[in-house]
Amino acid sequence: MALFFHSDDVDQLIPTGEAVAITESALRDMISPNGVCAPRKRLNLHRKVAEGTFDTVLNIYAGGSANFGAVGAQVALHRKAISGTTQQRPPFNPDQTELALIYDSDNGSLLGVMAHRPRDRSGKADLRTPATSLAGLDLFARKDARRVGIYGSGQQAWATFAGLCEMRKIESAKVFSPTPAHREGFAKKISLATGVTVKPVDKPELAAKDVDIILCMTNTNVPVIDGAWLEEGQYIISVIGSNIELVKSGNLDKPRREVDDATLRRCDFVVALSKAQAIDSQQGDIYWPVQDGVITWDKVVEISDVLAGKVQSRTNDKQIILYKNQGGQGIIDIALAKKCYELAKQHGKGYEMKIEPRLNWWVQGGRAETW
């Protein structure tokens, strides 16, 4: 029988380091014969009603691997609207539940259905995004990287910085957010949570000054970082990875950006979570700069190839490297969901769903009972 359970019953049992290790293993599987992964799909339903203009967005993440014994898909429904230069999620679908279907990759049985809800800042939040952002950290960040600059003061900034502090001995950090109360509140609370002194700064360029790792974890539509601010040896992690549908719907004039062209030019190379995702979604920070001749595809490597040893990572301490975590990948979602499923079984969480098997399961569409 399949198990129905909630991720927040068990995801706090997975340390960040383990979540990152699971993610890295899934990314290596993504380019092996044992793994399969499709680019994230977003179906945008354009809505214009009395309360405003927005998109209802169905997100579909599909993938799996024989190495971790599961294949499946995660689906999520969000509402997105544009407010000035940022993207907002207006009130909608109050529980904001995402569902992951986890199938056994060998016998095809439904192992479980995981309901995933975004967590408050006391929990692991969205495991997959910080785990994916921190994948390859030891390959791309300098070994002595201890100072961090943060752009953004929301959930992903919190989860990623907190995870980074679990993986590295961080000495200091700075945070910039355009709203003073947000950056000041974030700095105070996360300093207490991590034991690392985080200083709010009132100018964006200050967050990039004298730091080793830069976290761009914003909800912006326009670049928040200027390549002129970058210093030798820095490693930048950026998460904006929207699709072209917000432009087609008229919500945006042009695709979303988080880094500018100067940043792309100054980087020695750009690490993409998925080139196929960048192309399929026509993403602003990779696809369009290539189309416009700012950079070429030769400058963009995929993190899977680096993790598998097919492409070099950092080769010296002067290189500036940008990593674009530009869209959830199903193989990662299902790898983490499978781990959550195993923990739920181990700790007696959730409940069994009784699904009666069909005795003549192979008789579909006129097929014979035997091969």
Cα–Cα distance measured from residue 341 to residue 366, given in angstroms and rounded to the nearest whole number: 35
Name every residue whose Cβ is closer than 8 Å to that of residue 242 and which is 6 or more positions away in sequence: 87, 255, 256, 281, 283, 284
Predicted confidence pLDDT, tens digits, the chain (371 residues): 899 999 888 988 999 999 999 999 999 999 999 999 999 998 888 887 776 778 888 999 999 999 999 999 999 888 877 666 666 666 666 566 789 999 999 999 999 999 986 655 444 446 889 999 999 999 999 999 999 999 999 989 999 999 999 999 999 999 999 999 999 999 999 999 999 999 999 999 999 999 999 999 998 989 999 999 999 999 999 999 877 877 887 778 889 999 999 999 999 999 999 999 999 999 999 999 999 999 999 999 999 999 999 999 999 999 999 999 988 899 999 999 999 999 999 999 999 998 876 665 555 555 555 54
Is residue 277 within 8 A of residue 326, CB to CB? The reply is yes
In the numeric block, the tokens 């997105």 are attached to 80
Is residue 238 within 8 A of residue 324, CB to CB? The reply is yes
DSSP state of 259: B
Is residue 134 within 8 A of residue 156, CB to CB? The reply is no
Pairing outcome for strands 110-116 and 86-88: unpaired
Residue spans of the domains in the chain: they are: 2-126+329-353, 131-324
The alpha-helical segments, DSSP class H, found in 50-149 are 128-133, 137-140
Token pair recorded at residue 33: 């014969």
Cα–Cα distance measured from residue 96 to residue 74, given in angstroms and rounded to the nearest whole number: 13
Note the Cα 245 to chain centre separation in Å.
19
Residue 8: predicted pLDDT: 85
pTM exceeds 0.85? yes
Residue 93: predicted pLDDT: 60
Q: Do the two domains 2-126+329-353 and 131-324 of this chain adopt the same fold?
A: no
Fold designation for 131-324:
Rossmann fold (3.40.50)
100: three-class secondary structure by DSSP = strand
Cα–Cα distance measured from residue 261 to residue 322, given in angstroms and rounded to the nearest whole number: 12
Is residue 139 within 8 A of residue 313, CB to CB? The reply is yes
Fold designation for 2-126+329-353:
ornithine cyclodeaminase, domain 1 (3.30.1780)
